[in-house]
Amino acid sequence: MAIEELEIKDQLGYRYMTEADIKTVLEIETLSNPFPWTEQNFIDCLRKDYYCLIQTHSDGISGFAIQSIALDETHLLNIGVGSNKRRQGLGSDLLEKIIYASEAMGSNKIFLEVRASNVAATSLYLDFGFKQIGIRKDYYRLPEGKEDALLMSKSLKKDWKNRFFNN
Ligand SMILES: CC(C)(COP(=O)(O)OP(=O)(O)OC[C@H]1O[C@@H](n2cnc3c(N)ncnc32)[C@H](O)[C@@H]1OP(=O)(O)O)[C@@H](O)C(=O)NCCC(=O)NCCS
């Protein structure tokens, strides 16, 4: 790992998202997706008590991730890092935290959809051991037309008890 990467990761913090964060989160989202989530989409996630994580850096919010954890399955719904902060390990750190939370809350598997042309996100997921398990035809709306989603999943560790107990 490069020295610069260690330094930037040292400055990272995490907390739960609030409605006051949505303005900044929307700025990241709007620059990230051809058909971005709306403010209401984020509000709905908060009201549904989804796992809505904010990543902070010395100069503010650097990223966010939202997942729905239901029984033993997690669905990663959205993840994004500010465009000026990418390729420095922040997305990996965020995904690591998301996976840890899913495991700690008893999930056996994490699922996600990603736009077929989204090389950055797909590469990140493959690095973390996600496997492509299917394709959802025309899943995403684009400003013009539609795009397929790759459905990916990763099996999680079943050792959540060891995270809390020594016996
Ligand atoms: C996907 C995303 C979160 C990655 O964040 P990041 O902070 O740049 O990721 P990292 O720096 O931790 O990169 C980890 C790995 O992901 C892959 N990766 C990241 N960006 C990439 C790019 N532009 N092209 C190819 N691979 C890329 C690489 O394998 C990289 O490892 P490396 O830097 O050692 O080569 C970021 O690009 C993003 O916010 N994109 C827009 C939102 C989005 O597409 N979300 C996914 C919705 S499904």
Q: What is the pLDDT of residue 166?
A: 76
* Active-site residue flag, 113: yes
Six token digits for residue 97: 């935290």
Model confidence, pTM:
0.93
- Average pLDDT of the residues in 21-36: 96
Cα→Cα distances 137→23, 37, 52, 140, Å: 31, 20, 27, 9
Ligand 1, atom 9, lies closest to the CA of 91
Ligand 1 midpoint to CA 127 (Å): 10
125 a catalytic residue:
yes
Pocket of ligand 1 from Cβ distances under 6 Å: 32, 79-81, 86-92, 114, 118-121, 123-124, 127
> What's the CATH class of domain 3-157?
alpha beta
Higher-confidence residue of 166 and 91: namely 91
Dihedral of the CA atoms 124, 130, 135, 141 (nearest 10)? -40
**How high is the pLDDT of residue 2?**
60
pLDDT in tens, 107-136: 999 999 999 999 999 999 999 999 999 999
Mean pLDDT of 46-67: 96
pLDDT averaged over every residue in the chain: 93
Does residue 3 carry a pLDDT above 70?
no
Tens of pLDDT, residues 65-112: 999 999 899 999 999 999 999 999 999 999 999 999 999 888 999 999
- The preferred substitution site among 64, 119, 123 for testing ligand 1, maximizing ligand atoms within 8 Å of CB, is 123
The helix or strand, by DSSP H or E, that contains position 96, with its residue range, turns out to be: helix 90-104
Partner residues linked to 81 by β-bridges: 63
Nearest residue (CA) to ligand 1, atom 42? 80
pLDDT over 70 percentage in the chain:
95
